[in-house]
Amino acid sequence: MQLFEEADDEAFRRLVREWLADNLAMVAGGFPAPVSPHDMAFRRAWEDHLCACGFSGLTWPKADGGHELPMGRMVIWLEEYARSGAPQGVNVIGHGILGPTLLHFGSAEQKARYLPGLLANREIWCQGYSEPGAGSDLAALRTQAVCEGDHYMVSGQKIWTSYANIADWCFLLARTDPSVPKHKGISFLLVDMKSPGITVRPIRQMNGEQEFNEVFFDEVKVPVANRVGEENSGWAIAMAAASFERATYFIPRLVRMEEEFRDLLQLARAPRPGAGVPLEDPEVRGRLASAYLDVHVLKLFARRMLETAGGTPGPEGSYLKLFWSESHQRLLDIAMDVLGPSARLGPQEPAAAERRHWQRDYLWSRAETILAGTSEIQRNIIAERVLGLPR
């Protein structure tokens, strides 16, 4: 793709910005205006368009169908993507976790079978790790995979499985040896969601959306050829998979937070009917000033992590996760107070002047201190592995 050959960073940024603006307008033009970036059909159409235009596998090796984009360019792409307001795709777990996992641990056959479907966005993936009794303590999982010749019989229950209701495939962790210590008896399996014995029950979230699910496996037949890596090596694979793209995970989130801060300040300066606490309120002024500092400290953290850790942060990545998720919640708490009942307005409503769904984003942000390791777990990691405190 010509855009990726551009020699100069600033020219590359400009081209990315223009491409995103033009193509977003084109894809959105196929929907009744204005379309929400949270609309599932829009998200899917946009992601299909990106992939059809070759914007997938950006950092993957060229030999595997990627573009081998260097980290600096990837950062520019992610920053511009976040600024453009483009929706998040629905195959984020496939592109962000499963793809890099197969690149590192998949057999040649597995790469040939699954990577092209990911690059073209033909197959949507979900991640079946968490269970009702195994979340923070993931290794306590109880879903079993019993080997019967050339296949496993998988039985158990997963929960909070994002996108399982639309996924074609699930990569899951299942216990293949209950007799050894818990981390050592787990395997990493690729499961066709159309297999007999799978039941998906969507869970409605408090913001009204329905993204995650309960998934039940009742004697589901999974070929042994669908196991990634050796039997009982699933824990190490899952831990490595969690570190892929961890450094770049925060870039779009920090850009979005900075933009949210700016938009909020603008709305606070020119309150509309139904707004809440005025900007003259000394407490609100203090909280906004702190939020401004949070955004800047986060940006410095992220930059230092990218420069020093070269993209694969160790336990210090926990600082960023903890600080980002908690300060983002604080920012949206201020938004609720400042915007008052007018925060209910979203871009789809005729009276709305702003481009954000403040109330929806406030509700969604509650999940940010839970997913990818809760705040308590991040604090444990910092205490034990960074500060060396006793357990």
Residue numbers at the binding site for ligand FAD (CB under 6 A): 126-130, 135-136, 160-162, 212, 367, 370-371, 374, 376-377, 380
Based on the residue annotation, tell me whether 245 is a catalytic residue of this protein: yes
Residue 217, CA distances (Å) to 85, 145, 151, 238 in order: 37, 10, 15, 20
Run of H or E including 176 = none
Contact between residue 261 and residue 331 where contact means Cβ atoms under 8 Å apart: yes
Residue 334, classed as helix, strand or coil, is helix
Nearest approach in angstroms of CB 75 to ligand FAD is 25
Please give the angle made by the CA atoms of 257, 255 and 259, to the nearest 5 degrees.
55
Nearest approach in angstroms of CB 169 to ligand FAD is 13
Catalogue the E-assigned strands of the chain.
125-128, 144-148, 151-162, 169-175, 186-192, 198-203, 212-223, 227-228
Instruction: Considering the complex, state which of residue 56 and residue 130 has its C-beta at the smaller distance from ligand FAD.
Output: 130
Residue 4, CA distances (Å) to 13, 25, 70, 99, 248 in order: 10, 22, 10, 20, 18
Nearest approach in angstroms of CB 287 to ligand FAD is 25
Token readout for 188 is 């990493």
Instruction: Considering the complex, state which of residue 73 and residue 328 has its C-beta at the smaller distance from ligand FAD.
Output: 328
Instruction: Considering the complex, state which of residue 129 and residue 244 has its C-beta at the smaller distance from ligand FAD.
Output: 129
Catalytic residue (one of 47, 131, 245, 260) = 245
Place of tokens 């420069």: 307
Nearest approach in angstroms of CB 377 to ligand FAD is 6
- Determine how β-strand 169-175 pairs with β-strand 151-162: unpaired
Token readout for 217 is 């496996």
DSSP 128-140: E--BTTBSTTGGG
Nearest approach in angstroms of CB 329 to ligand FAD is 13
Token readout for 226 is 């669908």
Give buried/exposed letters for 222-243 (b at 16+ CB in 10 A, else e): beeebbbbebbbbbbbbeebbe
Instruction: Considering the complex, state which of residue 215 and residue 251 has its C-beta at the smaller distance from ligand FAD.
Output: 215
Instruction: Considering the complex, state which of residue 279 and residue 367 has its C-beta at the smaller distance from ligand FAD.
Output: 367
Nearest approach in angstroms of CB 134 to ligand FAD is 7
Instruction: Considering the complex, state which of residue 236 and residue 377 has its C-beta at the smaller distance from ligand FAD.
Output: 377
Give CA–CA dist 126/190, Å, rounded: 10
Contact between residue 88 and residue 43 where contact means Cβ atoms under 8 Å apart: yes
Give the active site residues. Answer: 245
